[in-house]
Structure 1
Amino acid sequence: MSTPPPETVTEDRLLNGRVRLLQPRDGYRAAIDPVLLAAAVPARPGERILDLGCGVGAAALCLLARCPEITVDGLELQDVLAGLGRRNAVLNGVEGRFAVHCGDAAAPPAGLGDFDHVLTNPPFFEEGSGTSAANASRALAHAEGNLDLAGWIKAAVKMLRPKGRLTLIHRAERLGDILAALRGRGVGDIVILPLWPKAERAAGRVIVSARKGVRSPLRLLPGLVLHGEGGEFTAQADAILRSGAALDPPAGPADKK
Structure 2
Amino acid sequence: MKLHECERIDIVPGTNYKIIQNRKNFSYGTDAIFLSNFAKPKGMVMDLGTGTGIIPLRLLDRGNIEVIYGVEIQKQVANLALRSIELNNLQDKIKILHMNLKDLPNHFGKCTFDVITSNPPYMKAGGAIVNPEENYAISRHEITCNLEDIIRVTNYLLKQQGKFYMVHRPDRLVDIIYTMRQYNIEPKMIRFVQPKIGKKPNLILIEGLKGGKPDLKFHDPLIVYNDDGSYTDEIYEIYGMTKQNSQFTIHN
TM-score normalised by structure 2 residue count: 0.88
Could you say what the CA RMSD is over the residues aligned between the two structures, in angstroms? Answer: 2.1
Q: What does residue range 177-256 of structure 1 map to in structure 2 within 5 Å?
A: 177-243=175-241
- Aligned pair count reads 239
Render the CA deviation track for 1:83-105: whole Å, top value 9, x for unaligned: 11111112223221000011111
Query: Residue 138 in 1 paired to residue 139 in 2?
Result: no
1:49 maps to 45
Task: Give the Cα–Cα distance (whole angstroms) in 2 for the partners of residues 12 and 25 of structure 1.
Answer: 11
1:171 maps to 169
Contact 2:20 2:52 survives alignment (8 Å): yes
**3-state SS of paired residue (2:60):** helix
Contact 2:193 2:221 survives alignment (8 Å): yes
Equivalent AA in structure 2 for residue 166 of structure 1: F
Task: Give the Cα–Cα distance (whole angstroms) in 1 for the partners of residues 172 and 238 of structure 2.
Answer: 24
Task: Give the Cα–Cα distance (whole angstroms) in 1 for the partners of residues 16 and 103 of structure 2.
Answer: 33
Q: Which runs of 5+ in 2 are unaligned?
A: 242-252
Distance 1:208 1:33, change over 3 A: same
Equivalent AA in structure 2 for residue 215 of structure 1: K
Task: Give the Cα–Cα distance (whole angstroms) in 2 for the partners of residues 19 and 104 of structure 1.
Answer: 27
Distance 1:94 1:5, change over 3 A: closer
1:255 maps to none
Contact 1:32 1:241 survives alignment (8 Å): no
For residue 67 of structure 1, report the CA deviation from its aligned partner.
4.1
**3-state SS of paired residue (2:193):** strand
Task: Give the Cα–Cα distance (whole angstroms) in 1 for the partners of residues 28 and 232 of structure 2.
Answer: 20
Contact 1:192 1:219 survives alignment (8 Å): yes
2:107 maps to 110
**3-state SS of paired residue (1:152):** helix
**3-state SS of paired residue (1:119):** strand
For residue 112 of structure 1, report the CA deviation from its aligned partner.
6.1
Contact 1:123 1:141 survives alignment (8 Å): yes
For residue 52 of structure 1, report the CA deviation from its aligned partner.
0.5
Render the CA deviation track for 1:23-58: whole Å, top value 9, x for unaligned: 2221111122111111111124xx110010111100
Percent identity, aligned pairs only, is 22
2:72 maps to 76
For residue 65 of structure 1, report the CA deviation from its aligned partner.
3.6
TM-score normalised by structure 1 residue count: 0.86
**3-state SS of paired residue (2:56):** helix
Distance 1:5 1:139, change over 3 A: farther
2:55 maps to 59
